[in-house]
Copies of this chain bind each other. A is one copy, B any other.
């Protein structure tokens, strides 16, 4: 029996979501995550760049390298497959949250 992984990389989902909103480079994704989470999501470069390579390898992202103000910058955008993956992972995340809420926060009065 083949099980769906319980949580398929929270960071993948977040990266896809950020890039979906606007094509972005690695450093900008880190900034966006830190900003939007009120500082809670404070990822290291060692986390984000392998995630970006992985997602590009998987065909979910495509990238273009440029030099901006003397610095190389690699901007990623979502592919068609990436949009599909994003939708799927959003669904999986919502499912997991719903399942965990039922268990972790539970309905009061549930004496099964």
Selected interface stretch from A35-43, A59-67, A68-76: A35-43
**A48 near B: Cβ within 8 Å?**
no
Give this chain's copy count: 2
Interface of A is mostly: helix
Question: Is A103 a contact partner of B40 (Cβ separation < 8 A)?
Answer: no
Question: Is B40 a contact partner of A95 (Cβ separation < 8 A)?
Answer: yes
Q: How far is the CA of A15 from the CA of B53 in the complex (A)?
A: 34
Q: How many residues of A contact B (CB 8 A)?
A: 33
Question: Is A37 a contact partner of B90 (Cβ separation < 8 A)?
Answer: no
Query: With contacts A33-B103, A36-B102 known, what are 10 further pairs, Cβ within 8 A?
Result: A3-B42, A7-B7, A7-B10, A14-B104, A21-B106, A32-B112, A36-B99, A37-B102, A40-B99, A93-B104
